[in-house]
Amino acid sequence: MSTAYDPLHGPDDTTPEPASLDIEIAVTRRILDETAALNIHDHMDMLKAAVALDCRVRGLLAALDAERGEGQ
């Protein structure tokens, strides 16, 4: 049995070109600060936090890969 859904990130999706690692770290810290006060019992708050953090982790990892010269 399968269920139709829209994935958060599909195999054909690309991560936008990352900023510098320092900027990506700063933005990730800001998102963590912004999501820290959200209500864990509020479904929409948690959904917004999950999407924001997923995007930030992808950007952060892309910046790390770029700094290391990987993926080129």
The DSSP annotation for 6-72 comes to --SS-TT--PPPP--HHHHHHHHHHHHHHHHTS-TT-HHHHHHHHHHHHHHHHHHHHHHHHHHTTT-
Total structural domains within the chain: 1
Distance CA 9, CA 55 (A): 9
Whether 33 is covered by a domain: the verdict is yes
pLDDT of 17: 81
Residue 30 lies inside a defined structural domain of this protein: yes
- pLDDT tens, residue by residue, 49-61: 999 999 899 999 9
Per the domain annotation, does 7 fall within a domain? no
pTM score, two decimals?
0.73
The verdict on residue 52 lying in a domain is yes
Tell the burial category of 1 from Cβ atoms under 10 Å away from its Cβ (0-12, 13-18, 19+): exposed
53: domain range?
21-68
